[in-house]
Structure formats: structure tokens, C-alpha cells
Amino acid sequence: MLSSKEIRSQFIEFFQAREHSFVHSSAVVPQNDPTLLFANAGMNQFKSIFLGLKDADVPRAVNSQKCIRAGGKHNDLEEVGKDGYHHTFFEMLGNWSFGDYYKKEAITWAWELLTAKWGLPKALLYATVHESDHEAHALWQECTDIPPSHIEYHGDKDNFWEMGDTGPCGPCSEIHIDRGIEHCNKHGVAGHVCGVNGDCDRFIELWNLVFIQYNREENRDLTPLKNRFVDTGAGLERITQVLQDKSSNYETDLFMPIIDKISELSKLPYTQESGMSHRVIADHIRCLCFALADGGFPSNEGRGYVLRRILRRASRHGRLLGFAEPFLHGLVDTVVSIMGHHFEELRGKESYIKMVIKAEEDRFNKTLDTGLQKFDEICLKLDGNLIGGKDAFMLYDTYGFPLDLTMMLAEEKGFKIDHRGFEEEMEAQRERARKASKFGGSHTQDDWIELRPALPTLFTGYEKSADTAYIQRL
């Protein structure tokens, strides 16, 4: 069985053998992109190339990009732990062509790596193409031996990629695998039919090949780009799950050493059925380690607020496993042992990461105790057995209680939660955040300014409270 380390290395080496240059992952905390909370895709560091603001240093590239999707548009934080595939932090394997090769090579090489190198059964693989992309449909038939009936046309929702409301975009071709009826989470539900891009876990996407060939104008027209690009993305966690024949990303060697450490510290063994808290903590500690190593820091706004929420959610789930004292810092060494060989920026920062996490968790423990007291006060004032949506949201927003924790506490006392009222309050908060966000809004190409490589700088903060510096535009 291939290890995740071997899978990552084999992906990179496969494309290096095809004249791709290895480009190290950019920092997960963006240094020069005001539209992003965190790096959330492999293409982020190449955005200026796609926008035509700079020339590519190499015609072909390959890497494994560290990504965080939590907060902003991509926010599934509350879903993490409930299933086997939602994550805040993940790795995206990718290969790129900057005006060099195009659809034929991208399709041929993806098929070769999946089937010839990694041995995935061809009869279980499916390829989807955009309903307008007859070229890609024909290439799948001509350049691979995928069963012809497994090539499907799909619409914009699943098979057309856009950077934003305007800008570079194009059709994409996704590769899916059929995991079998036993993986369908909707089996037996009236009217459900398993299918690619359907609403169940039987068919999962492995790899997305994006063909960037148009520019989306403000009037929604598409105009051909001067250069065409290939931008692909394959989630390492999902690829590893399939190649290691596991039923969940969390059962792979990317997560199990962390989960085993959590079980050791808590004295509670992990199972899929009762292991939600184990999964939440394992995911969140990975995210925190990478974000802190790349310059992130918990705070009350922006990126820092997202990190604080992630840390507090992990700490809350630690309470559910019986941890009364800070414990998350005790998992840092395990994360570094799994990931530090490839992401060397983790090494040497273990003590700093532990210090920040322990201090934050210690402070949150005091807030959590206050929140539990507030919950008891709410219950004493109830006229009936229903905890109002506003009260549940106040516990979530002010004291960091996830809804599932409030539900569990309520159930113990024989109470229920006004879910609709909670969701209305949550949506109102999202709307306030969208209006106030410093990371949203429309951005023209003039917003992207590439600066000259930084010269050595002198820190004057010990002597001065303000100083002057100069930057030069390329």
C-alpha cells in the first residue's frame, strides 16, 4: 500500500519526468492577495500569469499546494468532522501549462498516472466534460481507453471554471471514481439514483483538469485569451483514501497518527460512529499548525478571527472527549512528523506553534466555563422546552458554542433548539460579514501589482514607533 508521502512524491516525479518544474507551495496565509482569506487553490500563486500581468518563469509547473478553506465564500467549517471528507486544511496536487501543452496532454497524462502508475481500475473511472467541449470529449475517446459510456457531458455548475465574475475562465474535465453501492449515503432513499455529480458519496471526484481559454467580460461575453492554460487539481487526501482503500480521508496515514494520539491522550478509542470529535480535532490541528507557521495569528478580525474559531472549535470538541486542560499543543509534534518532510517550513517552529495554541486554548477554557454558566441561566428562564434561536446563536457567537454542543447540552436536559431561528440569525451574521468584509468585492486587474523582490530590511521598531519605507512597482 502506498503511503501519502509516496503518493505525493510520485505525482511530482511523474510530471517532472515530463519537463515540469517543481514549484514549492506558496504560503497558506497570502502575502500579496487582498481578495483571499487564505490560499484556497493551487492556482492562487499563478493568478498574475493567468491575468496577463506577468510572464511565467517556466512553461510547465507541478507542486502540492497547501490550502485552507474556512470563512468567506468557501466556508464548510461546521461540516468538518460530520463526514469523512470535509476539511479546513488540505493539499492540492497540481500540474500547470502556461501557454505550452493543452487538453490532449493533460488528459493523456492524467489517465496514465491514475491507471498505469497507480493501477486504478479503468472500468470504475468516469470522465465529465463541459456540454460545449466536444474537443475534450473526443480526446477522451481518442487518447485513452476509458469505456466510451463513461464519458459524460455536464453543465456550467460542474464543468465550467471561473476565477470570478470577470476574468480568465474555461471548461473543465473531471475524473471520478465509482466506490461502489456500499459507499452510497442515500441508498434506500426513495427516488435516489446514484450517478456522477449526483447527491451521494458513491462517485467521488479525484482530479479536475481546467482548460483556461476565455476571458469573461463584464457583459458576460466570452472572448478567447491570447494564451491558453492548463490548471489541474487533485486533492491528496482523497487520492490517498482511494489508493489506500479506506472509507474515509480520516482513516488514511495523513490523519490516523493524529487520531491515535488523541485516543491515547483522551483514553477514548476512535470509531467512525463515535469519532466526530476525533476528526474535528485532527483536521483543525493540521490547519492551525500550517497557518501559524506561515504567519497567521488568532485575533478578533479577518484571518485571525477564522483561526480563533477553528482553535476554539477544536478545544470545544476536546471537552467532549474529557479534556479539561489545554491539550491541542500536545498534537503539534505528530503533525510535524507527518508533514514536515515535505513542508520544511513547519520544522523549527514547533515551540512557537505550541506556545500560541496553548495560550489561546487556556484563555478559551475560561470563556467556555462562562458559556456553560450562561447556558444554565438560559435554561432556567425557559417557559417550555424550546431554546430560542437567538439564545442558541448568542452562545455560538459570543461563547463559541457550536450548535451541536448546544444541542447535546439541551438534549441532556430534555430541551430542543429552534433551528430555524438559529439559521436566520446565522444568515444575518453572514450578510453583515459580506458587507463588512475586507476580502470581498470586485477587483480589476489594476488591483494586482507585482512588486520587485524584497531587499534586506532593517527592523527599527525597538527605536521608533513609526518609520518610512519605499516599494517599487515592476
C-alpha cell, 351:
515551540
Domain, as residue range, for 151: 4-243
> What SS3 state is found at 207?
strand
430, three cell numbers:
453572514
Element (H, E) at 94: strand 89-98
In this structure, the strands spanning 167-178 and 125-130 are antiparallel
Q: How far apart are CA 207 and CA 242, in angstroms?
A: 12
Using DSSP bridges, classify how beta strands 89-98 and 60-68 pair: parallel, antiparallel or unpaired: antiparallel
Structural domain includes residue 130: yes
> For each successive 10 residues of the chain (474 residues), what is the average pLDDT?
96 98 93 80 85 89 93 69 88 96 97 97 97 96 96 94 83 95 84 86 93 89 90 96 94 97 96 92 97 92 87 89 94 97 95 96 85 90 90 87 78 89 89 63 45 55 66 53
Q: What is the pLDDT of residue 139?
A: 98
- 385 & 239 share domain: no
User: 1: which residues sit within 8 A by CB, 6+ positions away?
Assistant: 243, 244, 245
Structural domains in the chain (count): 2
pTM of structure: 0.81
Distance, CA of 335 to CA of 282 (rounded, Å): 9
Whole-number pLDDT of residue 441: 45
Find out whether 50 and 43 touch, Cβ atoms under 8 Å.
Answer: yes
User: Last residue of a domain, which of 228, 243, 258?
Assistant: 243
Q: Which three cell numbers stand for residue 96?
A: 500547470
Evaluate whether residue 239 is within a structural domain. Answer: yes
- The answer to the question of residue 354 being in a domain is no
Has residue 257 been placed in a domain? no
Dist CA 71 CA 142 (whole Å): 42
Alpha carbons 346 and 360: distance in angstroms, whole number: 19
Query: Residue 197: which of 148, 156, 254, 138 has the closest Cα?
Result: 156
Calculate the alpha carbon distances from 148 to 145, 156, 299 in Å: 8, 22, 53
CB atoms inside a 10 Å sphere around CB 29: 20
Could you give the CA distance from residue 34 to residue 24 in angstroms, rounded to a whole number?
Answer: 21
The reply to whether 202 and 55 lie within a common domain is yes
Domain end point (choices 219, 243, 267): 243
Residue 349 covered by a domain? no
274 within domain boundaries = no
CATH number of the structural domain spanning residue 210: 3.30.930.10
Tell me, yes or no, whether 343 lies in a domain. Answer: no
CA dihedral 151, 152, 156, 162 (to 10 degrees): -10
- The SS3 assignment for 129 reads strand
Query: What is the rounded CA–CA span in Å between residue 367 and residue 369?
Result: 5
Label residue 108 exposed, middle or buried (CB < 10 Å: 0-12, 13-18, 19+).
Answer: middle
466, HSE (Cβ side, Cα atoms, 13 Å): 0
Among candidates 172, 165, 173, which has minimal Cα distance to 216? 165
Closest CA to 209 of 166, 160, 243, 249: 160
Cα separation, 72 vs 86, in Å, equals: 16
In a domain, 160, yes or no: yes
